[in-house]
Amino acid sequence: MIAIIDYGMGNLHSVSKAVERLGYETIVTGDAEQILAADGAILPGVGAFGDAMEHLRESGLNDVVIRYADSGKPLLGICLGMQLLFASSEEYGDHEGLGLLPGAIVRFRGDYKVPHMGWNRLIYRQKDSPLFSGIDEGHVYFVHSYYAKPERENELLAVTDYHQPVTAIVGKNNVYGMQFHPEKSGDIGMQLLDNFLKMCK
């Protein structure tokens, strides 16, 4: 069973349907016991970092997500959900994140279009990651104005190029994050999601 964590700010339906298409049973839930009992968990997210953390704290789900990560079972953050895994964000002020990954979320700065929106090629930094098993580098779909700056190079699994190397996939032990939307990223996105789900068996 794969838990899609519902804290009031996620693209829950599209993620749930993608997981089901890959042949896995899902439950969309904000219930702590159901989340902690799941074989794998996905933290989606759309919107602002500070609002999302407020929702997580008010519901007590911030502690549930941390407990889940500490259990050793696979956890995947998608888009804003990936950013929430980090220690902090500068989006509309300074905000504390879940702190599962060291590093910060910062805004794109430069004389170019923000948000970063569209199809960009993945460049694997840690090619031996099980996430990339059987998958060539290819294009996935991004929509974001802020990006992650991990503190540890070995936790940066893949980048894309948008006027600079931009964090695309991160991973530390059982905790993973994808800045793009795998469920909206064609065959490669679905293959990446499938490789994550295989870890949950």
Catalytic residue numbers read 79, 181, 183
* Residue 7 DSSP symbol: S
Identity of residue 5: I
**Pairing relation of β-strands 165-172 and 156-161?**
antiparallel
Number of H helices, E strands in the chain: 6, 14
Residue reference for tokens 């899609």: 4
Angle (CA) 77 80 86, round 5°: 70
SS3 191: helix
- Distance, in Å, from the CA atom of 119 to the CA atom of 114, rounded to the nearest integer, reads 14
C-alpha dihedral sign at 100, 21, 126, 44: negative
